Amino acid sequence: MRAANVAGMTPARARKRWPAPSGAAVIIPLGRVLIVLAMLGVWHWASGRLVAPIWISDPVDVAARIRTWLGDGTLSRNLGATAAAWAGGFAIGGIAGILVGFVLGVAPVADRVLAPYLAALYGLPKLALLPLLVIAFGIGLQSKIALVAVVIFFITLQATRDGVRDIDPDLIANLRIMGARRRELLAKVLLPATLPWIYNGLRISVSITLVTTVGGEVLSSNRGLGYLIASSAARFDTAGVFAAAVVLIVISLAVNALLTRTEASSSAWRGR
């Protein structure tokens, strides 16, 4: 039994199993805010008391650094480079992975032939490919896009393939007996049933691809949030390192919220 398909449920159904208690609309966001405030308070108190500021900086200094970067254009310039590399690779690799995942999901023989090779490539640390990609595409934006595309390709491929294979084959057979065409099966069965798996793979990919993008920029780039982290660390500027990390966290949360909202809209569409 697949971990994402507990008790025969798709990821979307599994999340809906336990109803939220009354007052959750207030308790949940309030609890999240209190946790963040408590963490910031402990961080501010510990800086200079328990741990030297050179190691963990201070949230006040981090906020000041972000404000400075916003004022002089440093943040917008480097954030734009990271966003372009991440979004380009995310789109290219995600679309390719979904398409190949559908093909392998409906072609079990091809899936079995390619399975060991895909498993070997999936387990390969993708940052190890960066030197080859730099040789092929240069140190600029293209090599980072290619690196991110390779990472998300395998994640979305696995998620899409598992989603297609999770569909009851008897349902497909019965619909074919009733005269359903391939296009109708794709639009009304395969795609709606696989969407929760695809969104789950995309959500998992957000943080992984962001880490990959920043890691690539740390190793070989002259701009981007990864470059800001590397240059700040080289100057022992802990506030700069944490400031870039905070920006990455905000981006990850925003993209995950967008995916969740999009999935909710697609769920309404599937329910029609």
Give the pLDDT score at 193.
83
Q: Is 165 exposed, middle or buried (0-12, 13-18, 19+ CB in 10 A)?
A: middle
Query: Which range among 7-21, 134-148, 210-224, 230-244 shows the weakest confidence by mean pLDDT?
Result: 7-21
Give the pLDDT score at 9.
43
Assign 244 a pLDDT band (cuts: 50, 70, 90).
very high
Give the pLDDT score at 185.
72
Angle between helices 74-106 and 59-72 (to 10 degrees): 100
Assign 3 a pLDDT band (cuts: 50, 70, 90).
very low
Q: Length of the chain, please? A: 272
Q: What is the DSSP letter of 48?
A: T
The number of beta carbons lying within 10 Å of the beta carbon of residue 247 is 18
Assign 17 a pLDDT band (cuts: 50, 70, 90).
low
Domains of the chain: 77-270 (1.10.3720.10)
Write out the two tokens for 58. Answer: 């201070």
Give the pLDDT score at 32.
87
Is the pLDDT confidence value at 70 over 80? yes
Give the pLDDT score at 247.
93
Give the pLDDT score at 156.
94
Three-state secondary structure call for residue 51? strand
Task: Name the phi and psi angles at 47, rounded to 5.
Answer: -65, 120
Is the pLDDT confidence value at 109 over 50? yes
Q: Is 81 exposed, middle or buried (0-12, 13-18, 19+ CB in 10 A)?
A: buried
Assign 140 a pLDDT band (cuts: 50, 70, 90).
confident
The rounded percent of the chain whose pLDDT value lies above 70 is 86
Q: Which amino acid is at 41?
A: G
| β strands within 90-219, DSSP E | none
Is the pLDDT confidence value at 8 over 50? no
Assign 267 a pLDDT band (cuts: 50, 70, 90).
low
Mean pLDDT of 83-107: 93
Q: State the average pLDDT for the chain.
A: 84
Is the pLDDT confidence value at 269 over 70? no
State how far the Cα of 240 lies from the Cα of 227, in Å rounded to an integer. Answer: 11
Assign 6 a pLDDT band (cuts: 50, 70, 90).
very low
Is the pLDDT confidence value at 194 over 90? no
Mean pLDDT of 167-189: 72
Three-state secondary structure call for residue 47? strand
Return the closest-CA partner of residue 190 out of 93, 128, 110, 103.
Answer: 103
